Structure 1
Amino acid sequence: MLRAVVLPLLLLASLSSMLAAPARAQDAERVRIHGSNTLAHALVPAVAEAWLRDIGYTGIRSSHPRATLTEIHASRDGLPLVVEIDASDSAQGFADLVEGEAQIAMMTRRPSAAELDAGWQLGDLGSQDQEFVVALDGVAVVVNRRNPVLRLDMEQLRKLFSGQSRDWSELGGVAGEVRVHLDPNAGAVRDLMNERVMRGAAFAEAQLHASASELVAAVAADPLAIGLIPIGEHYGEGTRPLAIADGGRAIVPTRTEVLGEDYPLSRRLYLYGGQMMGALSRSFALYAMTRAGQRAVARSGHVAVTLVPGRARAATAGPVEYRQLVEGAVRLPLSLRFNFNGAGEAGVAASVYDSRAVRDLDRLRAFMQLRPNRGRRLLVIGFADASAGSSMAAMMMSNDRADLVAQELMSRGLKVQQARGMGTALPVTASRNAGARYRNERVEVWLL
């Protein structure tokens, strides 16, 4: 009789344990991150694995249930966690955030006015608590070092890469057929070019390469070649990047100009979360802002948003007064920008600074507390957009912005030697362009 009772109980226990294992895996807590393939490909997985390790998770492994989905599995104290990274595009990522299908949206742009309206319940998507500038990326336009052309504007770029301009003599170079080189695997390069330059035009026939390094080698071997590579790739000895103008001054993609977001073919990579995004998802987003998170960003091949200054360089552009002010100083790799209530800029953020500027101010304070920088002074220079009206109004606005930042720095215990406005000098884009006020109205910080 006892045997008759025990056997069914053992079978029931065995069946329960068999069912429990998949149930536990299925019921694992998830951090759901959806959106842009540019971030999903390498950046977010790299940051996620570093985050999991640093907060004590073990058994970290990746799986790919489908081509667009990466799952990173880990556990801590016997409790499983899955970081779900679903690659699509910025619009789908934001839509999933609004619908509650994702806790974090990956985007290569800010939400549009229509998206902000649809996501009104998410809170202040322009604030540093919900908008996280995790990295930068961009496109460098490279030519052979023997090519005499030094700069191009956006219209010239469009004509070159669409095949409308076919000879270098049209651009001030030596006569010869333009030979275009592209890497079809560089999706972010093509996306950014389509967004900023091509404006619906198709790319011309080009020589295709399997990698950026192969493309650079081909351009180095051909004086008539031009190609596109991601910012951060090595140029090599035989090529150099062109300065690019977007209605303002022509800017070379140096590290400082890219991190300062003055270079026109660069962009931010964002993470967005709702105001009720949850403890783990918020922990992940905040971790991406830390030094450890930014090291993971750099390992993924993107430009980390860090404060490492370059060398002092003589300023060759701008008014004489500007060049005299910055002589011998080192420009820090940032440009502090501001929030404006308006579609496509920053929504309804409460802070006068945009989310990156808020964090850059904190980074700047930490940077100035390092032993080599203690006691050194800062130079603060403000700029305005021509939309301010008269030159006098623009000068007043640029002075106000410089004074605002100087006061912010001094309130953090930093020493500011001088704060000056330069009006509409050195615009980075034409005032007629979308977002011109946001880009042109900025504050530079220099280390003395």
Structure 2
Amino acid sequence: MLTLLSHLRLSARRLALPLLSPLILALPLSAQANDLEIHGSNTIGARLAPMLMTAYLQQSATGKVTERPNGKENEKLLLANANGKPVRVLVAAHGSSTGYKALAANRADIWASSRPAKDSEIGALKSRADLTAPDSEHVIAIDGLAVLVHPANPVNELSIDTLGKIFAGEIRNWSEIGGSDSPIHLYARDDRSGTWDTFKSLVLGKTYKLDASAKRFESNDQLSDSVSQDASAIGFAGLASVRDSKVLAISDGNAPALKPTQLTVASEDYPLARRLFMYSPGQKTQKMAADFLEFAQSEEGQAIVSRSGFISQNPMAVKPNFDDSVPASFQRLTANYSRLTVNFRFSKGRTKLDNKAQRDLKRVADYLSREHLTAGELLLIGFADQQSNELRAQMISELRALSVSKALKDHGIPEAAYTGYGQYMPVGTAGGNSGQQRNGRVEVWVRNH
């Protein structure tokens, strides 16, 4: 149950406020004590975090949860009453890096980030918390970084390499890539944005640098609206902010071009898919924050993620539409199955499941129970990143599938069938960190009824 006293953090910032009680009414809302503060990503803070927090508070609130401006751009206050006590939550959405700084300075209870924590950030906070541990790193949604153009633009797909050249200014006219004879106008998120960090990492990398002509935006929605009004524009934003712009299909290496969809993004096969995180100080996380993070990752919380425009982690079965790039042997293998919108991926080595995968084990078990399916109707298919020979790749792919099958036993799913498909059907550039993280995966298939 929520109470103001049980959730009030006695930081220096907040301890000083009771001494000023005669002046409280004269202060702006942002100067009053908050029971919980979420700082960071605009992608998360614009809609998703307020929606999740509102639903969480409504579980124990008396009356309606009220959302009010905080007097600062991209900041919101959520106000509620629980057990006759007021509860105040601040959501400040100024970019992922600002959330890390607020958490490090003990000004935030939760850091919302649209990128993983950097090694430097993990190292700086290691005395307080392990940001790589399951009790600190929480995946709350999956997002697809949508590449946006004007609705009338005839270009339908681009490779990641071509996209990098465009944003580096090496390709400056749409006619060079099959479009009209017009200059390309670049639209990009600002330097504090996790969306920008993701684009820089996945598209520009160490090869390209953003051209100085690019217009920068603090908000995904503002960027998308500007692209939809400029026939020469190209930009990128979170999937929930497509609005009136046109979305391009993106290819990585020899893999087929994919548009961001429920299946391609949830499975992280789409080359610009990304995880949306909330970070907390592990065992030192205050109770209200810990309870909220658990709610956000629950089945109910993930249903809210879906309503917000992002991709839920609740599994659903989809029958893929195979194109000519899918081998006939794989089509025969999966002919009587549908694919779940979840892939198991690995953090270290060949078979150690990452933090999201650990929670996905329970999600798959819950899905089977909900749909009245047995372990005999499940098929796990492992894949390897490119190896020195096919036999090695086959062994690695089978070991990955076996590791998931064994892990599912702890969730009441005995002896799930599994197989390996080697290094075939890559979803991205094989080899290296990117290839290992995306191609090294285990797909989950369920028998059709």
TM-score when scaled to structure 2?
0.77
1:45 equivalent in alignment to 2:54: no
2:35 maps to 1:30: yes
Task: Decide whether the 8 Å contact of 2:140 with 2:278 is kept in 1.
Answer: yes
| CA gap 1:389/1:101 in 2 versus in 1, 3 angstroms | farther
Cα 1:359/1:166, change in 2 over 3 Å: same
Contact 1:379 1:416 in 2 (8 A): no
Q: 1:271-304 deviations in whole A, cap 9, x for unaligned?
A: 0111210111101111111233223333333223
Structure 2 CA distance for partners of 1:81 and 1:405, relative to 1, 3 Å? same
Pick which of 294-303 and 72-81 moved more.
294-303
Q: Contact conserved, 2:240 with 2:309, CA < 8 A, in 1?
A: yes
Matched AA of 1:333:
T
Corresponding letter in the other structure for 1:399: E
The structural deviation recorded for 1:142 is 5.7
Q: What is the aligned partner in structure 2 of residue 345 from structure 1?
A: none
Aligned match of 1:294? 302
Aligned equivalents of 1:268 and 1:176: distance in 2? 37
| Paired position in structure 2 for 1:447 | 446
Cα distance in 1, alignment partners of residues 233 and 92 from structure 2: 37
**Alpha-carbon deviation of 1:396?**
1.2
Displacement, 1:233?
6.3
Give the AA of the match of 1:281.
A
1:160 is displaced (CA, Å) by 3.3
Q: How does 1:250-269 map to 2 (within 5 A)?
A: 250-269=257-276
User: Sequence identity of aligned pairs in percent?
Assistant: 28
1:395·1:421 contact (CA, 8 Å) conserved in 2?
Answer: yes
Pair 1:130-2:136 in alignment: yes
Counterpart residue identity of residue 444, structure 2: V
Equivalent pair of 1:131/1:271 in contact (CA under 8 Å) = yes
Q: 1:320 to 1:217 in 2, by over 3 A?
A: farther
Aligned ranges 1:280-359 → 2 under 5 Å? 280-314=288-322, 316-340=324-348, 352-359=352-359
Q: Shift of the alpha carbon at 1:377?
A: 0.7
Residue in structure 2 matched with residue 67 of structure 1 by the alignment = 73
User: Contact (CA 8 Å) 2:394, 2:421: kept in 1 or not?
Assistant: yes
The counterpart of 2:84, out of the listed 78, 87, 112, is 78
AA in 2 matched with 1:261: E
TM-score, L = length of structure 1: 0.78
Rounded Cα–Cα distance in structure 2 between residues aligned with 1:20 and 1:232: 41
Amino acid in structure 1 at the alignment position of 2:76: T
**Rounded Cα–Cα distance in structure 2 between residues aligned with 1:337 and 1:375:** 20
Other-structure match for 2:7: none
Instruction: Give the secondary-structure state (helix, strand or coil) at the position aligned to 2:301.
Output: helix
Q: Which amino acid aligns with 1:50?
A: A
* Alignment deviations for residues 294-340 of structure 1 (CA, whole Å, 9 cap, x no partner): 23333333223221232343364344432321224211111111121
Q: 1:95 to 1:247 in 2, by over 3 A?
A: farther
Deviates more, 1:251-260 or 1:92-101: 92-101
- Contact conserved, 2:145 with 2:274, CA < 8 A, in 1? no
Asked if the contact 2:148–2:227 (Cα under 8 Å) also holds between the matched residues in 1, the reply is no
Asked if 1:19 is matched to 2:22, the reply is yes
1:366 to partner: Cα distance: 1.0
- The separation in 2 between residues aligned to 1:239 and 1:29, in whole angstroms, is 40
Other-structure match for 1:111: 117
Separation of aligned partners in 2, 1:360 and 1:42: 24
Give the corresponding residue for 2:390: 391
Query: SS of the counterpart of 2:279?
Result: strand
CA distance in 1, matches of 2:147, 2:20: 60
Counterpart CA distance in 2 for 1:86 and 1:174 is 40
The AA in structure 2 aligned to 1:19 is: P
The answer to whether the 8 Å contact 1:340/1:438 transfers is no
SS of aligned partner of 2:39: strand
Specify whether residues 371 and 194 from structure 1 end up closer, same or farther in structure 2 by C-alpha distance, changes over 3 A only. Answer: closer
* Distance (whole Å) between structure 2 residues aligned to residue 21 and residue 178 of structure 1: 55
1:419 Cα shift?
A: 1.1
Match of 1:200 among 167, 191, 209: 209
> What is the distance in 2 between the residues matched to 1:17 and 1:141?
50
Q: Aligned partners of 1:272 and 1:181: how far apart in 2?
A: 32
Distance 1:258 1:189 in 2: 15
Aligned counterparts of 1:376 and 1:446: Cα–Cα separation in 2: 11
1:279 and 2:294 aligned: no
Cα pair 2:115 2:195 within 8 Å, conserved: no
Once the two structures are superposed, the pairs formed by residues 145-184 of structure 1 within 5 Å of their partners are 151-166=157-172, 170-171=176-177, 173=178, 176-177=181-182
Structure 1 pair 88/247, CA: closer, same or farther in 2 (3 Å)?
farther
Deviation at 1:84, TM superposition (A): 2.1
C-alpha displacement at 1:412, in angstroms? 3.1
Inter-CA distance 246–314: structure 2 relative to 1 (3 Å threshold): closer
Partner of 2:270, secondary structure, is coil
| Contact in 2 for aligned 1:96/1:102 (Cα 8 Å) | yes
CA distance in 1, matches of 2:328, 2:172: 39
Aligned equivalent of 1:56, options 38, 57, 61: 61
1:409/1:37 Cα in 2 relative to 1: closer, same or farther (>3 Å)? Answer: same
Q: Which amino acid aligns with 2:359?
A: R
Q: Which amino acid aligns with 1:80?
A: P
Contact 2:148 2:224 in 1 (8 A): no
Contact 1:376 1:447 in 2 (8 A): no
Deviates more, 1:268-277 or 1:162-171: 162-171
State the 1:50 CA deviation: 1.2
Q: 1:203 to 1:50 in 2, by over 3 A?
A: farther
**Whole-Å Cα distance in 1 between the matches of residues 167 and 303 of structure 2?**
34
Tell me which amino acid in the other structure corresponds to 2:290: R
> 130-139 or 270-279, which moves further after superposition?
130-139
Structure 1: state its 5+ residue gaps.
Answer: 1-15, 342-350
Alpha-carbon distance between aligned partners in 2 of 1:122 and 1:205, rounded to the nearest angstrom: 39
Change (3 A) 1:375 1:389: closer
Note the residue ranges of structure 2 that are not aligned, 5 or more in a row: 1-18
- Find 1:96's aligned residue among 102, 112, 131: 102
Q: Judging changes above 3 Å, is the alpha-carbon distance between structure 1 residues 361 and 217 closer, same or farther for their aligned structure 2 residues? A: farther
Partner Cα separation in structure 2 for residue 214 and residue 29 of structure 1? 35
Number of residues paired by the alignment? 415
Letter in structure 2 aligned against 1:255: Q
Contact 1:183 1:215 in 2 (8 A): no
Aligned to 1:10: none
Tell whether the 8 Å contact from 1:245 to 1:251 is kept in structure 2 after alignment. Answer: no
